[in-house]
């Protein structure tokens, strides 16, 4: 792997750009993910990402004040309620909500702020860095994990069903 991740993300034109190597290190080093804004709806991207990461062996902590349980896991109304230690705070909320979540993550002793695709907030990212947290912005934790660990398939798991080989018609 080398240098910057190719993308059209506006984050790559800022000081908050991160590399594939950084994403891989975070995914190897930290295993406890608080998913803020996780939906109970199985068709939502947050739910799909959580199911995938749970299946990959990560400990998932759903954070959504409207739910009691998601994916068979207790759901917490706020990040402060999540059992410590919190390592990665994965944000599935609109950018306007990010500064408050970053403050909660700092108070909870988190190590990483991970903002999902389309979630960009440079001021909140700067605050997280200032507090000693790592920041990944405008990236999907599930996609990054699948890229490094071979989990790309229609179900998000390495099912061995998809191939690039042409099949012969009999």
Closest CA to 27 of 133, 117, 122, 147: 147
pLDDT at residue 168, as a whole number = 57
Ordered by where they begin, the domains of the chain are 15-149 (3.40.50.720)
CA dihedral 95, 126, 135, 142 (to 10 degrees): 10
**C-alpha distance from residue 133 to each of 17, 110, 130, 151 (Å):** 15, 7, 7, 27
Cis (ω within 30 of 0) for the bond into 111?
no
pLDDT at 86 over 90: yes
Kindly indicate the confidence band of residue 31, based on its pLDDT and cuts at 50, 70 and 90. very high
pLDDT at 156 over 50: no
By DSSP bridging, strand 73-74 and strand 69-70 are antiparallel
pTM of the model: 0.84
- pLDDT tens digits along 94-138: 999 999 999 999 999 999 999 999 999 999 999 999 999 999 999
């Amino acid at each position: 792997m080398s240098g910057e991740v190719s993308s059209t993300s506006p984050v790559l034109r800022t000081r908050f750009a991160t590399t594939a190597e950084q994403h891989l290190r975070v995914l190897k080093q930290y295993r406890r993910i608080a998913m803020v804004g996780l939906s109970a709806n199985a068709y939502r991207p947050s739910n799909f990402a959580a199911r995938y990461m749970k299946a990959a062996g990560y400990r998932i902590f759903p954070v959504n004040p409207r739910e009691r349980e998601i994916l068979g896991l207790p759901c917490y109304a706020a990040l402060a309620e999540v059992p410590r230690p919190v390592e990665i705070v994965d944000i599935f909320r609109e950018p306007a909500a990010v500064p408050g979540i970053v403050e909660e993550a700092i108070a909870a002793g988190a190590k990483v702020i991970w903002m999902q695709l389309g979630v960009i907030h440079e001021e909140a990212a700067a605050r997280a860095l200032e507090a000693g947290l790592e920041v990944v912005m405008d990236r999907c934790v599930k996609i990054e994990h699948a890229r490094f660990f071979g989990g790309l398939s229609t179900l998000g798991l390495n099912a061995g069903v998809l191939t690039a080989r042409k099949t012969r018609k009999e």
